[in-house]
Amino acid sequence: MGLWDGIFTSKAREYTLVILFFLLLAVIFTWPLILHIHDGVIGGHGDPLLNTWIVSWDARTIFTNPTGLFQGNILYPATDVLTYSEHMFTIGLMAAPVYYISGNPILAYNTMVFLGLVLSSFGCYLLIKKLTGSRWGALVGGVYFGLCPYKISQLNHLHIVFSAFLPFMLLYLYGYLEEGGIKNLVLFGVFFLLQSLASWHYLVYGSILILLLWVWKAAFSRTREEWMRIAGAVAMTLIAAALMLPFALPYLRVHARLPDFVRTLEESARNSAALADYLNVLPQSVLYRAGFSPLRVAFMGSETILFPGLVILLLAACGVFLRGRGEDECASPLLARHAREPYLFLIVTVVGVLLSLGPKIGGISNPLYTVPYHLGLFKLIRWPPRFFVLVSLGLAVLSGFGVAKISQGLQALKRPRISFRLVCAILLLAIVVEAATFNFEVTPVPVYDEVPEVYTWLKDQDAVAAIEIPASFPAPNPQGLFVYLSTYHWKRIANGYSGYNPPVLKELYEIMPSFPSGDSVDLLREYGIDFVIWHRELLPPQQVAEYDARLMSQPGLSLVRDFGEEVVFRVDPAGAGKDP
């Protein structure tokens, strides 16, 4: 028994070691986030805090008021406010134990960040191992899919980072199409459902992958049994889609009420990737941050950090172009069985690249994008570069095939086993170094006793609605912080932001910069706002005394409590709230 076989004497030990390996890399690649897992986020106070609110809202509401899931407490008096962003149901469900045990929304959110990275890597490991039989290839591909620079650049977008169940979906779909079995079929449906309910983006990505695999298998199917399995997979996909319908209906309801609640082709075109974006790298990249020509360093959070890496491209090319060995003793039966599969994942990669370029490529219409858009499939896509998720999966699987073929070729040379394992270890190290990122800026977030006392006070009030000002509307900062802090009281607030600005709040956004004018107070009364939380700390110091005097003398406002940096005023409750 060799060293490698001695280490992996059972699946349980193998999987534990592999998961720990991916977890260690996730900690290093996001350093120093692990040190602030309970009180900091990567990406600032904008989208990360909005997503923290969504995860916490889900975790809380799923078990206390599931029918009110989409009626979030922000952006009052708008309704169905969770539809303005991804609902992230699966992520909230998984975060619930951490949320309830710790009472810390940031800890729950960051736990999901790490879980998404690690499970994405592990699922890809299992998929590649199933297709190639190579643990080395599976490790290389797993590192890339879960921790590639694009995925790390999206740490401020949890719904994109969390690709945890996509490779599991393919793993069991392959299992069913090749081997049958009700277990494989059900698990395929479950993972497709879970991934789709983590993010509607992944409903699109998963559907594309399923369709490509259906067509691919159909092209080479010869027996009635093979066709029956394809039919079974289609039926399970439809069942999963039916189970998603309750989560889709609120979005359809809002679209019927608000016709502009859709991403236009023009918006997609503005946000599309250019071919030059495939040379963009992260400033935190260990290897490429110097910006070697023609590479360009882009900012963290950019949607267009799309440089895949040279090593991964080389290994992927090996996966496509190297020929596996025939029937000799060194040939892998799995590689022989899946000899055509690299071409499928090459297609996945190319499709991902073409879709990332959006509705037009070089001024010419891109039917691969526009046709599905007009069929309604891409109308939720705001940023076409996010189709790089398909590119990363395609390259990961191809690299796994590449390493497996290289390993097989080295074994055929009849050299000691240590030789080919050393080469494979070097390839794994090369992909780790190429993908590695380090030293991110972690933005501190108040938790526990650091949360201002005003929110503890607000929590103890009856059912009320509040607004926090001064703040720019509807800009994310400090709105993101206000949205996050609402998880400590869960009262309705007029503050908030999302991927869509509800028309009902347009008038409020326009007039609130004039607060505390009489018109602004009248509008707050009309909206049914009970309290104004005034933030002195957000004012220039020289303006604090002036605004204090204006607030104290403004008709329709009465001082409730002064917390120092925050002051609470009551709005005259007379008047009806605005009908949303």
> How does pLDDT run across 101-112, given as a tens digit for each residue?
999 999 999 999
DSSP label at residue 576: P
Do residues 152 and 437 lie in contact, with contact meaning Cβ atoms separated by under 8 Å? yes
What proportion of the chain, given as a percentage, has pLDDT over 70?
Answer: 95
The predicted pLDDT at position 5 comes to 55
The predicted pLDDT at position 555 comes to 94
389 compared with 416, residue with greater pLDDT: 389
Alpha-carbon distance of 51 to 58, in angstroms, equals 10
- Give me the residue label for tokens 């490509």: 212
pLDDT tier at 129, thresholds 50, 70, 90: very high
Considering the entire predicted model, what is its pTM? 0.94
What proportion of the chain, given as a percentage, has pLDDT over 90?
Answer: 83
pLDDT tens, position by position, 553-573: 999 999 999 999 999 999 987
- Residue 170's H or E segment, with its range, is helix 166-179
Q: List residues bridging with 296 in a β-sheet.
A: 280
- Which residues lie closer than 8 Å to 185 by C-beta, 6 or more apart? 172, 176, 232, 233, 236
The type of residue at 488 is: Y
- Give me the residue label for tokens 């940096």: 565
DSSP-assigned letters across all residues of 66-135 = GGGTT--SSSTT-SSGGGGS---HHHHHHHHHHHHHH--HHHHHHHHHHHHHHHHHHHHHHHHHHHH--H
The predicted pLDDT at position 579 comes to 44
Length of the chain: 580
DSSP label at residue 223: S
Alpha-carbon distance of 523 to 574, in angstroms, equals 11
pLDDT tier at 417, thresholds 50, 70, 90: low
Alpha-carbon distance of 154 to 160, in angstroms, equals 7
SS3 258: coil
pLDDT tens, position by position, 217-263: 999 988 999 999 999 999 999 999 999 999 999 999 999 998 888 88
pLDDT tens, position by position, 146-156: 999 999 999 99
The predicted pLDDT at position 326 comes to 52
pLDDT tens, position by position, 251-303: 999 999 988 888 899 999 999 999 999 999 999 999 998 878 899 999 887 89
How deeply is 548 buried, as exposed, middle or buried, from its count of CB atoms within 10 A (0-12, 13-18, 19+)?
middle
Per-residue pLDDT, averaged over 47-74, amounts to: 96
pLDDT tier at 576, thresholds 50, 70, 90: very low
Alpha-carbon distance of 579 to 576, in angstroms, equals 9
Closest by CA position to 277, among listed 314, 301, 308, 300: 308
Q: Is 80 exceeded by the pLDDT of residue 416?
A: no
Dihedral angle over CA of 550, 555, 557, 562, nearest 10: 40
The predicted pLDDT at position 378 comes to 93
- Give me the residue label for tokens 């319908």: 245
Q: List residues bridging with 493 in a β-sheet.
A: 466
DSSP label at residue 43: S
Lowest-confidence pick of 180-194, 390-404, 479-493, 502-516: 502-516
Per-residue pLDDT, averaged over 540-549, amounts to: 94
The predicted pLDDT at position 8 comes to 61
The predicted pLDDT at position 332 comes to 76
Q: Is 50 exceeded by the pLDDT of residue 578?
A: no
pLDDT tens, position by position, 21-40: 999 999 999 999 999 999 99
Sign of CA dihedral 144, 150, 152, 156: negative
Mean pLDDT of all residues belonging to the chain: 93
Alpha-carbon distance of 370 to 365, in angstroms, equals 7
Alpha-carbon distance of 393 to 86, in angstroms, equals 22
Per-residue pLDDT, averaged over 506-527, amounts to: 92
Per-residue pLDDT, averaged over 408-418, amounts to: 72
Alpha-carbon distance of 243 to 248, in angstroms, equals 10
